[in-house]
Amino acid sequence: MDSTHNKLRAVVAAGLVLLVAVPSAEAVLSPVPARTWVVDGVVNAIAVSGGTTYIGGSFTQVGPRTGPGVGIDSSSGTSTGLPEVAGGSVDSVVNDGSGGWYIAGSFTHVGGVARNHIAHIRSDGSVDPAFDPDANGFVYTLALSGSTLYAGGLFTSIGGQVRSDVAALDVSTGAATGWDPGANNIVDTLAVSGATVYAGGHFTWIGGETRNRIAALKASTGAATAWDPNASGGVNPIVSAVATSGSVVYAAGTFTSIGGQTRNRIAALDASTGTATAWNPNASGQVQTLAISGSTVYVGGGFSSIGGQTRNRIAALHKSSGTATGWNPNADGVIHVLTLSGSTVYAGGFFTSIGGQPRNHIAALDVSAGAATAWNPNANANVYALAVSGSTVYVGGAFSSLRGQPRANLAAVDNTTGTATGWAPDADGAVAALAASGSTVYAGGAFTSISGQARNRIAALDASTGNATAWNPNANGTVDALALSGSTVYAGGAFTSIGGQARNRIAALDASTGTTTAWNPNANGTVDALALSGSMVYAGGDFGFIGGHTRKRVAAIDSSGVATTWAPNVNGSVRALAVAGSTVYAGGLFTKVSQRARHYIAALAVSTGSPTSWNPGLDDQVYALAASDSTVYAGGFFNSAGGQPHQSVAAIDPATGEVNAWNPSPLGEVYAVALEPDGGLAIGGFFPTLDLAPQSGFAVFPRASRASRSGNRSSPPRTPAGST
């Protein structure tokens, strides 16, 4: 995410109010979004025109929705069609030995079925109905041994029993067995060897004994054995990975002392005594993953040297000496996970180049040369988990899409297919506002170049080609709000010059020439939201003076640029405005309007500016509004609405203020809401997933009557230590 996001996130989405014809009957929306393409970052603004939805924000890629857990063909790199994972990340996966997969992480649904943090996908691609351990916290690691699945993480209940951060589950029923070591902190990694379960993580107590971050547990009882390497040293010492080979246990993490010896972040431990062997690769940074094959130990993490050689984040070490082999894929970012299959090493993490090729977050590397193969799934975010079964590679992480296409901060989505069109203006900075009219899309934000042309913070783009037109108002500060009326483009933001004239934070521009009109309200603070009704321009933001009068954060400006007597007097920033009938709806960071308590959202009478009795009662800020005569949609960063749990977007009755039960629960912030002509709703923001579907950054919710149509549209995850 680029640096402009922090500046723009509090002012986005409110910049555009789309007043489109919608059915008068209440639009009952599906809680599950249509299957549109998604983005790898933030959507700040949405404009719907004809059969296309234009999106702007801070992103680099658009792609088909896959979710954070995907089976990928090991030859083609295409999805094998396993059920979607939603609600959080996939942090661990193991092959069940029968063509299926056990997966774990922070997710809440798999294939539309409620599964909290752990699930079993059967070989036929269905979600196992019998296996539902229902963990009450994140599960970060899995290890399979016969009829037992060991799970570690940060939970207090799993498999129907109280279990502290580690448990053993029956592979058929998901019920917890009697095995109960009871760790006092996160268990990050597990490995099974014979009658012993090795555990690593953040803990200092496990199996009934003091054990610092690494322990050997009896598979029969869960009690800690006498084996006690005592990992310590460094800042926040952690054991991130354990692996066994014969009489040796390999351990990796952030420690600087283990097994009674100084060992920087990686060590080989005697499986009988727990003492460190002479093997000492001495990594310069965290080692996060281990994979062993024959005489070689493959390692990944955040280091820049290991085994006596410069090795950026990935290396192969001689099992005998600990020195680095010549294998050197040279990743430009953190490696979270490695797994081997035949002559291929699969790597996942947070990188964009590895093995001499551009590869986003996942790659297949030749086991001999370290070069990246042609296999290129192109994940749009972190990969945390990998496992191979036959011709399928199961990939887990925090990504939402594979095999996407580059788009720099602007994209267009076909409303029928849900796929991105070829429209790609490529802005060099964040886009905060959009407005569309006929053959033109207007964009505002922080960019200085768009479609290969110099355009400072505002531009007009051809709706078909994406090319910048000659229209060039050249703003000297961010443009955060846009609204259209006939031959006039209204702009708000932080600028003091636009269209060739001095204009403080608000201006009217000729839609043909880009020059400013005489209209000049001259705001003394930022204008973050605009809405039009007839000849009236409603403005919201952080100003205290506009249109020649004192107006606190919201005002009505007439055709001469003068503020009318309409003066609600809001005590905090106004980030969003929408007009429907005789009401102006306002959202933002305020708690009072005209001395009346109104938390973050209010309805203001067009005639007087006084707040009406309408009072939905949100618990945090509102960034975006859209209104019809039947529903007011609010987007923001709230957790409750109408006294009920409600996450970031809500549908509100315009007459009563009652909050609709519709609650898709985007896990993040909503910065843009826009009405579809047929009564659906598009939302944009900074959310990696929804509770019920892995839709990131952008989602379209059809009317419930459309939800059954066939076709193409139908608590944050952890960041492992050392990751970006």
- For 273-327, write each residue's pLDDT tens digit: 999 999 999 999 999 999 999 999 999 999 999 999 999 999 999 999 999 999 9
Written as six digits, the tokens of 7 are 């500046």
- The three state secondary structure string of 466-496 is CCECCCCCCCCCCEEEEEEECCEEEEEECCC
Domain boundary among 349, 378, 403: 403
Q: Are residues 454 and 555 in the same domain?
A: yes
pLDDT over 70 (residue 2): no
| Shared-domain flag, residues 410 and 526 | yes
Last residue of a domain, one of 187, 204, 228: 228
> What's residue 705's pLDDT?
57
Same domain? For 194 and 238 the reply is no
Domains held by the chain: number: 4
In angstroms, the CA 560 to CA 329 distance is 65
What φ, ψ does residue 312 adopt, rounded to 5°?
-85, 95
What span, in angstroms and rounded, lies between the C-alpha atoms of 199 and 206? Answer: 9
| pLDDT at res. 77 | 87
Sheet bearing 362-366, strands edge to edge: 334-341, 344-350, 362-366
> pLDDT > 70: what percent of the chain?
94
Identify any residues that bridge with 653 across adjacent strands, giving them in sequence order: none
Instruction: Say whether both 216 and 241 belong to one domain.
Output: no
C-alpha 561/C-alpha 522 separation (Å) is: 9
Examine the domain organization and report whether 290 and 223 are in the same domain. Answer: no
pLDDT, one tens digit per residue, over 534-582 is: 999 999 999 999 999 999 999 999 999 999 999 999 999 999 999 999 9
Q: Which of 283, 349, 306, 312 is nearest to 723 (CA)?
A: 349
Q: Is residue 324 part of a domain?
A: no
**Number of neighbouring beta carbons within 10 Å of residue 564:** 14
- Counting residues of the chain whose pLDDT is more than 90, the rounded percentage is 90
Average pLDDT over residues 74-91: 93
Running DSSP on this structure, what letter comes out for residue 718?
A: P
362 & 412 share domain: no
**Given this model, what pLDDT does residue 8 score?**
34
Mean pLDDT of 221-230: 98
* Assigned domain for 716 exists: no
Answer whether residue 713 is part of any domain. Answer: no
Same-domain status, 347 and 442 = no
Asked whether residue 116 is domain-assigned, the answer is no
In a shared domain, residues 676 and 571: yes
CA distance 424 to 451: 8
Residue in 405, 469, 421 with CA at minimum distance from that of residue 443: 469
CATH, residue 188: 2.40.10.480
Does residue 274 sit in the same domain as residue 368? no
Residue 443: its pLDDT value, please?
Answer: 98
- Whether 308 is in a domain gets the answer yes
Please indicate, yes or no, if residue 215 is contained in any of the structural domains.
yes
pLDDT band at 704; cut points 50, 70, 90: confident
Q: What is the CATH number of the domain that holds 267?
A: 2.40.10
Residue range of the domain that includes 176: 133-228
Asked if residue 1 has pLDDT above 90, the reply is no
* pLDDT tens for each residue of 418-463: 999 999 999 999 999 999 999 999 999 999 999 999 999 999 999 9
Give the pLDDT confidence of 648-690 residue by residue, as tens digits: 999 999 999 999 999 999 999 999 999 988 789 999 999 999 9
Query: Can you give the pLDDT at residue 561?
Result: 98
Among 228, 247, 266, identify where a domain stops: 228
Are both 207 and 138 inside the same structural domain?
A: yes
> In angstroms, rounded to a whole number, what is the distance separating the alpha carbons of residues 121 and 143?
16
Residues 410 and 399 reside in one and the same domain: no
In this structure, the answer to whether residues 547 and 620 fall within a common structural domain is: yes
**Residue at 173 is within a domain:** yes
**Model confidence over 117-159: pLDDT tens digits?**
999 999 999 999 999 999 999 999 999 999 999 999 999 999 9
- Asked, for residue 693, whether it belongs to a domain, the answer is yes
Q: What is the mean pLDDT of residues 360-384?
A: 97
